[in-house]
Structure 1
Amino acid sequence: MKNRLADPKFLKTILPRYGFKFSKSLGQNFIINPSIPERIAELSGADSESLVFEVGPGAGCLSYELSLRAAKLITIELDKRLVPLLKETLVDRDNVEIVKADALKTDFKELASKAGEFEKIIFCANLPYNITSPMVAKLIEAKLFSEITLMLQKETAERICASEGSREFGAFSVFVNYFCETKKLFELKSEDFMPRPKVDSAVIQLIPRKNFNVELKDPELFRATYRSAFSQRRKTLLNSMSAGELKLDKEELLNALNAVGIDPGQRAETVSPDLYARLSNEIYKI
């Protein structure tokens, strides 16, 4: 059956009834291509044994598809205008819980604990673009989800999934790719949304790692290490890191770089996440 919640004619009928107008500040763009939420839900890993979390459900088109597959869906919406609308559009889905909250302040572990026992807990959402980076970091740091499937701005998706040596590879790439396996699933065009955003989008999937090639001695030092490296990315690692937040003199830093086999003349974007982890562990000894 066609998902009417992704039908622009239906949306133009129901949204005014709730006094809803799209908010740029909340990054609101609703999917209007019915094949997309179905495809995302199919790729999300949602099944009859899973608890699924969603953020920014909009009118509920992805929520609906996820609820058809999941044991339970908890969808979190900040916009108070959309909560009663969602209660109408998802009224027939008795496995859906709608929570009005700020996702960046939400305790996912607490909500999951109250929801009961499930084989796995996953996250799937068309994320509001204005909260992408802090939301992705929060999801990874929660250490709760077996799969994280996200629709993002295409440029951000490419940055997250980038490999060392590429132009897109940056500090956030190091963070995400150390903790997760990353994969870009497919791309979307601006005409798939209402209103049309000025950028294209992509769907990516993150699989949090259970085992690491390099175990971190100090996660905060790891963050300081790669952030220092990218603080002046046009400079060599030795120069950018000695001027960064690590507060090391050049001789100490040079010894650490040499100890893990990194050329001090390299640029930040040429070093892999695992090598940054090894470097932070070496700096930990100082």
Structure 2
Amino acid sequence: MNKVVEKLETWKDIFIKNIPNIAIALVVLVVAYFASRAMNSIVNKTIGKRIRQKSVRDLVSRVASGVTILVGLYLAMTVLKFDDTLKTIVSAAGVSGIVIGLALQGTLSNTISGVVLSFRKNLNIGNWVETSGYSGEVMDINLNYFVIKEADNNMVVIPNKTILESPFKNYSLTTKMRIAIECGVEYGADLEMVEQLTIDTIRTNFNQKEIGKDVEFYYTEFGDSSINFLCRFWIDSENALERLKAKSKAMIEIKKAFDKEDINIPFPIRTLEFTNKLNVKNNIAREKVSAN
């Protein structure tokens, strides 16, 4: 019983001796708590202008808040002279972090990729992109996946890691898009007339002066049944759907212009020639004589 009393007396003396340190540690923890809340709000407002994804904003702000709390806890334990305990906690956290990191390697990779994608200036929600064999409008960049809405209204969910490691084409980075049309005309056509007619048709239906470009026209080859050409022009567009519409319209207008001027767009023709060098009638007569 005396040993217990002595032990309690010792703890009391230590407690009284460390009252100033305990008070300082409590103040540090309280300040760290309110600082973490302020940090959460500040970071959320600061990155809110650059990151539209709420999940990513919350993650970044919570990480900043957690780091502030950890700093306060470290200072408080240092004031209380719990250095050995602090080293033990840090060592245990390090080992646990390695184990958890290996177990959740794929998930953590997608989460980190989602944060990186959110800070990219060349990729935002609403952009029309093409990546990993899919093309459509970016609907969401979440912590683990990337959502694309295709032209047929299907939603495609792609892991963030795949997007980060794969090349992608962003049609929304520029409002100018070039359209290429390949066609052919008959060998008897006036090539200079065809060239000028095609250029005039494109200029009439697609204003190239506002874009600051001009129509390009090149004959490319002597085909099997036609002389083929390539026509390129520019449109104002931010997605692949507008590109398809412009190409379709250009093909219709070129066909109308060619039909009006009696310019033929030939299709491949195969001629089959049957030759009969044998006299069929004489062969039939010989067979009848032999039969008699």
Q: TM-score when scaled to structure 2?
A: 0.21
Relative contact order (alpha carbons < 8 A, sep ≥ 6): 1 or 2 greater?
1
> Looking at CA atoms only, which structure, 1 or 2, has the larger radius of gyration?
2
Query: Which has the larger share of helix?
Result: 2
